[in-house]
Amino acid sequence: MRFVRELTSWLSGGADPDSFPYRPVTAEFHRTGKHFVGKGLLALLDETRAHVAARATGAGPVDAGPVRLLRDFLDVALDKWDGRYDYRSYLALRLLGLPCGDGDGDGDGGGGGGAMAERAAARQGRDRLLVHLVADALAFELAAAAGTTELLPEQRPGPALVAKRHRLGVRAVSPALSRLGLTVDDSQPAAAAAALHALAAADRSAAEERALRLSMLPVYLSHDEYLFIRVLQAYECVFAGLADELRATIDAIDAGRAVAAAERVGYARDQLASAAPLFSLLASMQPESFRTFRAYTEGASAIQSRSYKLMESLCRTPEGSRLDSAAYRSVPELRDRVRAGGPSVDAALRAAVRDGRLAGADRALVELRMREFAATVLHWRRTHHRLAVRMLGERPGTGYTEGTPYLAEVRAIPVFTAVAADPDPAAPSEPSGGCPE
Ligand code: HEM
Protein backbone atom coordinates (compact mmCIF):
# COMPACT_ATOMS: atom_id res chain seq x y z
CA MET A 1 0.00 0.00 0.00
CA ARG A 2 1.48 3.28 -1.15
CA PHE A 3 0.22 5.40 1.72
CA VAL A 4 1.69 3.04 4.35
CA ARG A 5 5.07 3.05 2.61
CA GLU A 6 5.11 6.80 2.19
CA LEU A 7 3.85 7.55 5.68
CA THR A 8 6.27 5.23 7.45
CA SER A 9 9.21 6.52 5.46
CA TRP A 10 8.09 10.10 6.18
CA LEU A 11 7.83 9.32 9.91
CA SER A 12 11.23 7.65 10.04
CA GLY A 13 12.85 10.29 7.82
CA GLY A 14 12.45 13.30 10.07
CA ALA A 15 8.69 13.92 9.73
CA ASP A 16 9.10 17.32 8.10
CA PRO A 17 5.56 18.78 7.96
CA ASP A 18 6.33 20.46 4.67
CA SER A 19 6.86 17.14 2.91
CA PHE A 20 3.94 15.24 4.45
CA PRO A 21 2.56 12.79 1.84
CA TYR A 22 -0.86 14.42 1.52
CA ARG A 23 -1.58 12.96 -1.89
CA PRO A 24 -1.44 9.23 -1.10
CA VAL A 25 -3.21 9.79 2.21
CA THR A 26 -6.13 11.71 0.67
CA ALA A 27 -6.22 9.18 -2.18
CA GLU A 28 -6.83 6.45 0.39
CA PHE A 29 -9.60 8.49 2.04
CA HIS A 30 -11.14 8.98 -1.40
CA ARG A 31 -10.87 5.28 -2.27
CA THR A 32 -13.19 4.25 0.58
CA GLY A 33 -14.85 7.40 1.88
CA LYS A 34 -13.86 8.84 5.26
CA HIS A 35 -16.32 6.65 7.12
CA PHE A 36 -14.60 3.48 5.92
CA VAL A 37 -10.92 4.37 6.16
CA GLY A 38 -8.97 1.45 7.61
CA LYS A 39 -7.77 1.53 11.22
CA GLY A 40 -4.16 1.00 10.11
CA LEU A 41 -4.02 4.32 8.29
CA LEU A 42 -5.87 6.11 11.07
CA ALA A 43 -3.44 4.76 13.67
CA LEU A 44 -0.52 5.97 11.57
CA LEU A 45 -2.11 9.40 11.25
CA ASP A 46 -2.63 9.45 15.01
CA GLU A 47 1.08 8.76 15.42
CA THR A 48 1.80 11.55 12.98
CA ARG A 49 -0.29 13.90 15.07
CA ALA A 50 1.79 13.08 18.14
CA HIS A 51 4.95 13.89 16.14
CA VAL A 52 3.50 17.19 14.99
CA ALA A 53 2.49 18.13 18.53
CA ALA A 54 5.94 17.26 19.87
CA ARG A 55 7.58 19.24 17.10
CA ALA A 56 5.37 22.27 17.69
CA THR A 57 6.19 22.34 21.42
CA GLY A 58 9.84 21.34 21.07
CA ALA A 59 12.79 23.72 20.92
CA GLY A 60 14.22 24.99 17.70
CA PRO A 61 12.68 27.14 14.99
CA VAL A 62 9.57 25.70 13.41
CA ASP A 63 7.85 27.04 10.34
CA ALA A 64 4.32 27.56 11.70
CA GLY A 65 2.59 27.43 8.29
CA PRO A 66 3.25 23.77 7.35
CA VAL A 67 2.80 22.65 10.97
CA ARG A 68 -0.56 24.39 11.20
CA LEU A 69 -1.68 23.00 7.87
CA LEU A 70 -0.78 19.46 8.86
CA ARG A 71 -2.38 19.84 12.29
CA ASP A 72 -5.59 21.19 10.73
CA PHE A 73 -5.62 18.42 8.16
CA LEU A 74 -5.18 15.74 10.83
CA ASP A 75 -7.94 17.35 12.84
CA VAL A 76 -10.26 16.85 9.88
CA ALA A 77 -8.95 13.41 8.89
CA LEU A 78 -9.15 11.98 12.42
CA ASP A 79 -12.50 13.41 13.50
CA LYS A 80 -14.36 10.09 13.27
CA TRP A 81 -11.44 8.18 14.82
CA ASP A 82 -11.47 10.60 17.76
CA GLY A 83 -15.26 10.55 18.10
CA ARG A 84 -15.56 14.30 17.55
CA TYR A 85 -16.79 14.33 13.98
CA ASP A 86 -19.06 17.32 13.40
CA TYR A 87 -20.18 19.85 10.79
CA ARG A 88 -17.04 21.95 11.12
CA SER A 89 -14.66 19.05 10.74
CA TYR A 90 -16.79 17.51 7.95
CA LEU A 91 -16.49 20.74 5.97
CA ALA A 92 -12.83 21.31 6.94
CA LEU A 93 -13.70 24.93 7.70
CA ARG A 94 -10.38 25.64 9.38
CA LEU A 95 -8.42 24.47 6.34
CA LEU A 96 -10.38 26.94 4.25
CA GLY A 97 -9.68 29.75 6.69
CA LEU A 98 -13.35 29.99 7.64
CA PRO A 99 -14.47 30.53 11.23
CA CYS A 100 -15.33 27.32 13.02
CA GLY A 101 -15.32 28.29 16.70
CA ASP A 102 -13.12 26.74 19.40
CA GLY A 103 -11.01 29.84 19.71
CA ASP A 104 -10.46 30.52 16.04
CA GLY A 105 -10.03 34.11 17.02
CA ASP A 106 -12.66 35.90 14.97
CA GLY A 107 -15.76 37.57 16.14
CA ASP A 108 -14.57 39.86 18.83
CA GLY A 109 -16.25 42.84 17.38
CA GLY A 110 -13.29 44.33 15.57
CA GLY A 111 -14.82 43.94 12.14
CA GLY A 112 -15.54 47.64 11.60
CA GLY A 113 -11.90 48.61 11.38
CA GLY A 114 -12.89 51.66 9.42
CA ALA A 115 -10.19 51.39 6.79
CA MET A 116 -11.72 51.15 3.35
CA ALA A 117 -8.80 49.09 2.10
CA GLU A 118 -9.36 46.58 4.86
CA ARG A 119 -13.04 46.33 4.01
CA ALA A 120 -12.29 45.89 0.31
CA ALA A 121 -9.66 43.22 1.02
CA ALA A 122 -12.02 41.25 3.27
CA ARG A 123 -14.80 41.37 0.69
CA GLN A 124 -12.43 40.41 -2.10
CA GLY A 125 -11.06 37.48 -0.10
CA ARG A 126 -14.57 36.13 0.40
CA ASP A 127 -15.49 36.62 -3.25
CA ARG A 128 -12.39 34.71 -4.29
CA LEU A 129 -13.09 31.82 -1.92
CA LEU A 130 -16.70 31.60 -3.07
CA VAL A 131 -15.60 31.49 -6.70
CA HIS A 132 -12.93 28.86 -5.96
CA LEU A 133 -15.38 26.59 -4.14
CA VAL A 134 -18.13 26.70 -6.74
CA ALA A 135 -15.69 26.50 -9.66
CA ASP A 136 -14.18 23.41 -8.09
CA ALA A 137 -17.60 21.78 -7.71
CA LEU A 138 -18.25 22.39 -11.40
CA ALA A 139 -14.77 21.15 -12.34
CA PHE A 140 -15.61 17.86 -10.64
CA GLU A 141 -18.87 17.63 -12.61
CA LEU A 142 -16.93 18.26 -15.82
CA ALA A 143 -14.28 15.66 -15.01
CA ALA A 144 -16.83 13.03 -14.04
CA ALA A 145 -18.87 13.64 -17.19
CA ALA A 146 -15.71 13.35 -19.29
CA GLY A 147 -14.70 10.15 -17.49
CA THR A 148 -11.39 11.65 -16.39
CA THR A 149 -11.86 11.07 -12.67
CA GLU A 150 -12.62 8.00 -10.61
CA LEU A 151 -13.40 10.02 -7.53
CA LEU A 152 -16.80 9.27 -5.90
CA PRO A 153 -17.87 6.90 -8.69
CA GLU A 154 -21.32 5.93 -7.37
CA GLN A 155 -24.65 7.39 -8.55
CA ARG A 156 -23.26 9.63 -11.27
CA PRO A 157 -25.84 12.19 -12.50
CA GLY A 158 -27.08 12.21 -16.11
CA PRO A 159 -26.08 14.84 -18.70
CA ALA A 160 -29.19 17.03 -18.22
CA LEU A 161 -28.55 17.33 -14.50
CA VAL A 162 -24.88 18.08 -15.08
CA ALA A 163 -25.76 20.85 -17.56
CA LYS A 164 -28.17 22.32 -15.02
CA ARG A 165 -25.43 22.32 -12.39
CA HIS A 166 -23.06 24.13 -14.73
CA ARG A 167 -25.68 26.78 -15.42
CA LEU A 168 -26.68 27.32 -11.79
CA GLY A 169 -23.11 27.23 -10.48
CA VAL A 170 -21.96 29.87 -12.94
CA ARG A 171 -24.98 31.98 -12.02
CA ALA A 172 -24.25 31.66 -8.30
CA VAL A 173 -20.80 33.20 -8.67
CA SER A 174 -21.51 35.76 -11.40
CA PRO A 175 -21.89 38.74 -9.01
CA ALA A 176 -18.67 37.79 -7.16
CA LEU A 177 -16.88 37.28 -10.47
CA SER A 178 -17.83 40.68 -11.77
CA ARG A 179 -16.79 42.35 -8.51
CA LEU A 180 -13.41 40.69 -9.09
CA GLY A 181 -13.34 42.12 -12.60
CA LEU A 182 -13.75 38.70 -14.23
CA THR A 183 -16.38 37.35 -16.61
CA VAL A 184 -17.28 34.12 -18.33
CA ASP A 185 -19.48 33.74 -21.37
CA ASP A 186 -22.45 31.77 -20.01
CA SER A 187 -24.19 30.95 -23.30
CA GLN A 188 -22.95 27.31 -23.23
CA PRO A 189 -23.18 25.75 -19.72
CA ALA A 190 -20.28 23.28 -20.06
CA ALA A 191 -18.01 25.82 -21.76
CA ALA A 192 -18.91 28.39 -19.10
CA ALA A 193 -18.12 25.91 -16.31
CA ALA A 194 -14.78 25.08 -17.96
CA ALA A 195 -13.97 28.76 -18.36
CA LEU A 196 -14.87 29.41 -14.73
CA HIS A 197 -12.66 26.54 -13.63
CA ALA A 198 -9.74 27.89 -15.66
CA LEU A 199 -10.19 31.40 -14.25
CA ALA A 200 -10.40 30.13 -10.68
CA ALA A 201 -7.41 27.81 -11.05
CA ALA A 202 -5.30 30.66 -12.42
CA ASP A 203 -6.39 32.87 -9.53
CA ARG A 204 -5.38 30.43 -6.76
CA SER A 205 -2.02 30.43 -5.04
CA ALA A 206 -0.31 27.07 -4.46
CA ALA A 207 -1.31 27.23 -0.78
CA GLU A 208 -4.94 27.94 -1.66
CA GLU A 209 -4.92 25.09 -4.16
CA ARG A 210 -3.62 22.71 -1.53
CA ALA A 211 -6.16 23.84 1.06
CA LEU A 212 -8.96 23.37 -1.46
CA ARG A 213 -7.81 19.81 -2.24
CA LEU A 214 -7.47 18.91 1.44
CA SER A 215 -10.89 20.31 2.28
CA MET A 216 -12.67 17.58 0.32
CA LEU A 217 -12.93 14.43 2.41
CA PRO A 218 -16.37 12.93 1.70
CA VAL A 219 -17.71 10.29 4.04
CA TYR A 220 -18.76 7.95 1.25
CA LEU A 221 -18.47 7.36 -2.51
CA SER A 222 -21.62 9.05 -3.87
CA HIS A 223 -20.87 11.55 -6.60
CA ASP A 224 -23.29 14.16 -5.23
CA GLU A 225 -21.54 14.44 -1.88
CA TYR A 226 -18.93 16.59 -3.64
CA LEU A 227 -21.60 19.13 -4.55
CA PHE A 228 -23.12 18.95 -1.07
CA ILE A 229 -19.81 19.71 0.63
CA ARG A 230 -18.88 22.56 -1.70
CA VAL A 231 -22.31 24.23 -1.45
CA LEU A 232 -22.24 24.07 2.35
CA GLN A 233 -18.71 25.50 2.35
CA ALA A 234 -19.82 28.24 -0.03
CA TYR A 235 -22.70 29.18 2.26
CA GLU A 236 -20.32 29.17 5.22
CA CYS A 237 -18.24 31.69 3.31
CA VAL A 238 -21.37 33.81 2.76
CA PHE A 239 -22.44 33.62 6.43
CA ALA A 240 -18.96 34.57 7.62
CA GLY A 241 -19.18 37.60 5.33
CA LEU A 242 -22.61 38.54 6.66
CA ALA A 243 -21.27 38.40 10.21
CA ASP A 244 -18.42 40.75 9.24
CA GLU A 245 -20.82 43.19 7.62
CA LEU A 246 -23.19 43.13 10.59
CA ARG A 247 -20.38 43.80 13.05
CA ALA A 248 -19.36 46.77 10.94
CA THR A 249 -23.01 47.89 10.81
CA ILE A 250 -23.09 47.96 14.62
CA ASP A 251 -19.86 49.97 14.75
CA ALA A 252 -21.19 52.44 12.18
CA ILE A 253 -24.50 52.94 14.01
CA ASP A 254 -22.64 53.44 17.28
CA ALA A 255 -20.42 56.03 15.60
CA GLY A 256 -23.40 57.88 14.11
CA ARG A 257 -22.42 56.97 10.53
CA ALA A 258 -25.87 56.18 9.13
CA VAL A 259 -24.87 55.98 5.46
CA ALA A 260 -22.02 53.59 6.24
CA ALA A 261 -24.34 51.46 8.39
CA ALA A 262 -26.91 51.30 5.59
CA GLU A 263 -24.20 50.38 3.09
CA ARG A 264 -22.93 47.54 5.29
CA VAL A 265 -26.28 45.94 5.98
CA GLY A 266 -27.30 46.53 2.35
CA TYR A 267 -24.15 44.77 1.17
CA ALA A 268 -24.96 41.85 3.49
CA ARG A 269 -28.44 41.66 2.02
CA ASP A 270 -27.05 41.62 -1.53
CA GLN A 271 -24.59 38.84 -0.62
CA LEU A 272 -27.28 36.58 0.73
CA ALA A 273 -29.71 37.35 -2.10
CA SER A 274 -27.17 36.78 -4.84
CA ALA A 275 -26.11 33.45 -3.30
CA ALA A 276 -29.65 32.11 -3.81
CA PRO A 277 -28.71 30.04 -6.91
CA LEU A 278 -26.59 27.93 -4.53
CA PHE A 279 -29.82 26.49 -3.14
CA SER A 280 -31.09 25.82 -6.67
CA LEU A 281 -27.76 24.15 -7.38
CA LEU A 282 -28.09 21.96 -4.31
CA ALA A 283 -31.69 21.18 -5.19
CA SER A 284 -30.26 19.37 -8.23
CA MET A 285 -28.78 16.80 -5.83
CA GLN A 286 -30.33 13.38 -6.36
CA PRO A 287 -32.40 12.65 -3.22
CA GLU A 288 -31.43 8.95 -3.27
CA SER A 289 -27.73 9.90 -3.35
CA PHE A 290 -28.24 12.27 -0.45
CA ARG A 291 -29.99 9.56 1.53
CA THR A 292 -27.14 7.16 0.76
CA PHE A 293 -24.26 9.27 2.01
CA ARG A 294 -26.13 10.91 4.91
CA ALA A 295 -26.20 7.51 6.59
CA TYR A 296 -22.54 8.32 7.41
CA THR A 297 -22.90 12.01 8.30
CA GLU A 298 -24.81 11.45 11.54
CA GLY A 299 -23.60 14.01 14.07
CA ALA A 300 -22.63 16.63 11.48
CA SER A 301 -25.37 19.19 10.94
CA ALA A 302 -25.44 22.84 9.96
CA ILE A 303 -27.17 23.39 13.27
CA GLN A 304 -23.52 23.48 14.43
CA SER A 305 -22.74 26.34 12.03
CA ARG A 306 -21.10 29.01 14.09
CA SER A 307 -21.23 31.66 11.36
CA TYR A 308 -24.98 31.28 10.95
CA LYS A 309 -25.58 31.67 14.69
CA LEU A 310 -23.15 34.56 14.83
CA MET A 311 -25.05 36.23 12.01
CA GLU A 312 -28.36 35.60 13.77
CA SER A 313 -27.15 36.87 17.14
CA LEU A 314 -25.50 39.96 15.65
CA CYS A 315 -28.91 40.94 14.28
CA ARG A 316 -30.50 40.73 17.70
CA THR A 317 -30.01 38.86 20.96
CA PRO A 318 -31.96 35.60 20.69
CA GLU A 319 -34.64 34.88 23.26
CA GLY A 320 -33.79 32.70 26.26
CA SER A 321 -35.67 29.72 24.84
CA ARG A 322 -33.67 29.90 21.61
CA LEU A 323 -30.40 30.22 23.53
CA ASP A 324 -31.39 27.14 25.49
CA SER A 325 -32.30 25.14 22.40
CA ALA A 326 -30.13 22.71 20.43
CA ALA A 327 -29.38 25.58 18.04
CA TYR A 328 -27.22 27.46 20.53
CA ARG A 329 -26.18 24.53 22.64
CA SER A 330 -24.37 23.37 19.48
CA VAL A 331 -22.16 26.48 19.59
CA PRO A 332 -21.40 26.79 23.32
CA GLU A 333 -18.64 29.40 23.14
CA LEU A 334 -20.85 31.70 21.09
CA ARG A 335 -23.80 31.05 23.38
CA ASP A 336 -21.69 32.13 26.37
CA ARG A 337 -20.68 35.31 24.59
CA VAL A 338 -24.24 36.17 23.65
CA ARG A 339 -25.36 35.51 27.21
CA ALA A 340 -22.61 37.82 28.46
CA GLY A 341 -24.21 40.63 26.43
CA GLY A 342 -22.75 40.65 22.93
CA PRO A 343 -23.63 43.62 20.71
CA SER A 344 -26.37 43.54 18.07
CA VAL A 345 -27.67 45.73 15.26
CA ASP A 346 -31.09 45.76 16.91
CA ALA A 347 -29.72 47.06 20.21
CA ALA A 348 -27.42 49.57 18.49
CA LEU A 349 -30.35 50.97 16.50
CA ARG A 350 -32.59 51.29 19.55
CA ALA A 351 -29.86 53.04 21.53
CA ALA A 352 -29.03 55.43 18.68
CA VAL A 353 -32.70 56.35 18.20
CA ARG A 354 -33.28 56.72 21.94
CA ASP A 355 -30.25 59.00 22.33
CA GLY A 356 -31.20 61.13 19.33
CA ARG A 357 -28.11 60.05 17.34
CA LEU A 358 -30.19 58.57 14.53
CA ALA A 359 -33.26 60.36 13.23
CA GLY A 360 -35.09 61.57 10.13
CA ALA A 361 -33.88 60.42 6.73
CA ASP A 362 -30.80 58.72 8.21
CA ARG A 363 -32.92 56.57 10.46
CA ALA A 364 -35.34 55.77 7.64
CA LEU A 365 -32.45 54.67 5.40
CA VAL A 366 -30.89 52.34 7.99
CA GLU A 367 -34.28 50.87 8.87
CA LEU A 368 -35.13 50.28 5.22
CA ARG A 369 -31.90 48.36 4.65
CA MET A 370 -32.49 46.36 7.83
CA ARG A 371 -36.00 45.45 6.68
CA GLU A 372 -34.65 44.33 3.31
CA PHE A 373 -31.97 42.25 5.00
CA ALA A 374 -34.53 40.64 7.32
CA ALA A 375 -36.79 39.77 4.38
CA THR A 376 -33.88 38.09 2.60
CA VAL A 377 -32.96 36.03 5.67
CA LEU A 378 -36.58 34.92 6.06
CA HIS A 379 -36.63 33.99 2.40
CA TRP A 380 -33.40 31.97 2.87
CA ARG A 381 -35.02 30.07 5.73
CA ARG A 382 -38.15 29.29 3.75
CA THR A 383 -36.11 28.03 0.80
CA HIS A 384 -33.93 25.95 3.10
CA HIS A 385 -37.02 24.40 4.66
CA ARG A 386 -38.46 23.51 1.23
CA LEU A 387 -35.17 21.97 0.15
CA ALA A 388 -34.96 19.92 3.34
CA VAL A 389 -38.53 18.67 2.87
CA ARG A 390 -37.65 17.55 -0.62
CA MET A 391 -34.45 15.78 0.35
CA LEU A 392 -35.42 14.43 3.75
CA GLY A 393 -39.16 13.97 3.86
CA GLU A 394 -40.13 12.85 7.35
CA ARG A 395 -36.66 11.75 8.39
CA PRO A 396 -34.97 13.32 11.42
CA GLY A 397 -32.02 15.67 10.97
CA THR A 398 -28.40 14.66 11.39
CA GLY A 399 -28.21 17.30 14.14
CA TYR A 400 -30.58 15.24 16.31
CA THR A 401 -33.63 17.45 15.80
CA GLU A 402 -36.86 15.99 14.48
CA GLY A 403 -35.85 17.42 11.09
CA THR A 404 -38.12 19.56 8.97
CA PRO A 405 -40.66 20.30 11.78
CA TYR A 406 -37.75 22.01 13.57
CA LEU A 407 -37.01 24.07 10.47
CA ALA A 408 -40.69 24.98 10.06
CA GLU A 409 -40.67 26.23 13.63
CA VAL A 410 -37.52 28.36 13.41
CA ARG A 411 -38.06 29.81 9.96
CA ALA A 412 -40.31 32.63 11.22
CA ILE A 413 -38.14 33.78 14.14
CA PRO A 414 -37.92 37.57 13.72
CA VAL A 415 -34.54 38.70 12.42
CA PHE A 416 -34.83 42.08 14.18
CA THR A 417 -37.38 43.38 16.64
CA ALA A 418 -36.61 47.08 16.19
CA VAL A 419 -37.91 46.87 12.62
CA ALA A 420 -40.28 44.35 11.03
CA ALA A 421 -39.36 42.52 7.84
CA ASP A 422 -41.28 43.46 4.72
CA PRO A 423 -44.01 40.85 4.36
CA ASP A 424 -42.88 39.81 0.91
CA PRO A 425 -39.19 39.64 0.08
CA ALA A 426 -37.95 41.71 -2.83
CA ALA A 427 -38.23 39.78 -6.07
CA PRO A 428 -34.47 39.63 -6.88
CA SER A 429 -33.82 37.50 -3.81
CA GLU A 430 -35.96 34.65 -5.24
CA PRO A 431 -33.77 31.99 -6.86
CA SER A 432 -34.69 31.86 -10.50
CA GLY A 433 -36.95 29.01 -11.43
CA GLY A 434 -37.87 28.59 -7.77
CA CYS A 435 -36.03 26.39 -5.34
CA PRO A 436 -36.06 23.52 -4.88
CA GLU A 437 -36.52 22.97 -8.56
C1 HEM B 1 -29.97 18.61 1.41
C2 HEM B 1 -29.97 19.83 1.88
C3 HEM B 1 -30.28 20.14 3.30
C4 HEM B 1 -31.04 19.47 4.20
C5 HEM B 1 -31.82 18.18 4.00
C6 HEM B 1 -30.98 20.20 5.45
C7 HEM B 1 -31.63 19.83 6.60
C8 HEM B 1 -31.53 20.47 7.80
C9 HEM B 1 -32.15 20.02 9.04
C10 HEM B 1 -33.03 18.80 9.20
C11 HEM B 1 -31.80 20.91 10.00
C12 HEM B 1 -32.19 20.85 11.48
C13 HEM B 1 -31.02 20.43 12.32
C14 HEM B 1 -30.73 18.95 12.22
O15 HEM B 1 -31.30 18.15 12.94
O16 HEM B 1 -29.84 18.58 11.41
C17 HEM B 1 -30.97 21.92 9.38
C18 HEM B 1 -30.45 23.02 10.03
C19 HEM B 1 -29.71 23.97 9.43
N20 HEM B 1 -29.26 23.98 8.14
FE21 HEM B 1 -29.75 22.67 6.69
N22 HEM B 1 -30.20 21.30 5.28
C23 HEM B 1 -29.74 21.30 3.99
C24 HEM B 1 -28.91 22.22 3.41
C25 HEM B 1 -28.36 23.29 4.06
C26 HEM B 1 -27.45 24.24 3.48
C27 HEM B 1 -26.91 24.23 2.06
C28 HEM B 1 -27.14 25.13 4.43
C29 HEM B 1 -26.20 26.26 4.30
C30 HEM B 1 -25.14 26.31 5.11
C31 HEM B 1 -27.87 24.77 5.62
C32 HEM B 1 -27.83 25.45 6.81
C33 HEM B 1 -28.53 25.09 7.94
C34 HEM B 1 -28.50 25.88 9.16
C35 HEM B 1 -27.78 27.18 9.37
C36 HEM B 1 -29.24 25.17 10.08
C37 HEM B 1 -29.54 25.59 11.53
C38 HEM B 1 -30.84 26.39 11.52
C39 HEM B 1 -31.26 26.84 12.90
O40 HEM B 1 -30.84 26.24 13.89
O41 HEM B 1 -32.00 27.80 12.97
N42 HEM B 1 -28.58 23.65 5.36
N43 HEM B 1 -30.83 21.62 8.06
pLDDT number for residue 435: 39
| Ligand 1 centroid distance, CA of 302 (Å) | 5
Assess whether the C-beta atom of 305 lies below 6 angstroms from ligand 1.
yes
Could you tell me which of 436, 387, 331, 347 has the C-alpha nearest to residue 100? 331
Do residues 167 and 283 lie in contact, with contact meaning Cβ atoms separated by under 8 Å?
no
Res. 4: pLDDT tops 90: no
Res. 432: pLDDT tops 70: no
Best residue among 222, 284, 303, 305 to mutate for probing ligand 1, ranked by most atoms within 8 Å of CB: 303
Res. 104: pLDDT tops 50: yes
Higher-pLDDT residue of 344 and 104 is: 344
Res. 159: pLDDT tops 70: yes
Do residues 93 and 300 lie in contact, with contact meaning Cβ atoms separated by under 8 Å?
no
pLDDT number for residue 99: 73
Higher-pLDDT residue of 4 and 293 is: 293
- Exposed/middle/buried for residue 64 (C-beta within 10 Å: 0-12, 13-18, 19+): exposed
pLDDT number for residue 169: 97
| Ligand 1 centroid distance, CA of 270 (Å) | 21
Do residues 250 and 294 lie in contact, with contact meaning Cβ atoms separated by under 8 Å?
no
* In the chain, domain spans: 2-84, 116-429
Best residue among 134, 293, 310, 384 to mutate for probing ligand 1, ranked by most atoms within 8 Å of CB: 384
Report field, pTM of the whole predicted structure over 0.85: yes
Mean pLDDT of the chain: 91
Among protein residues, the one with the nearest Cα to ligand 1's atom 23 is 388
pLDDT number for residue 63: 57
| Ligand 1 centroid distance, CA of 204 (Å) | 29
Instruction: Render pLDDT for 246-300 as a digit per residue (tens, 0 to 9).
Output: 999 999 999 999 999 999 999 999 999 999 999 999 999 999 999 999 999 999 9
Residue 78 CA, distance from chain mean position: 20
pLDDT number for residue 108: 40
| Ligand 1 centroid distance, CA of 384 (Å) | 7
> pLDDT-derived band of residue 105, with 50, 70 and 90 as boundaries?
very low
Fold of the 116-429 domain:
Methane Monooxygenase Hydroxylase; Chain G, domain 1 (1.20.58)
Do residues 308 and 302 lie in contact, with contact meaning Cβ atoms separated by under 8 Å?
yes
State percent of the chain over pLDDT 90: 81
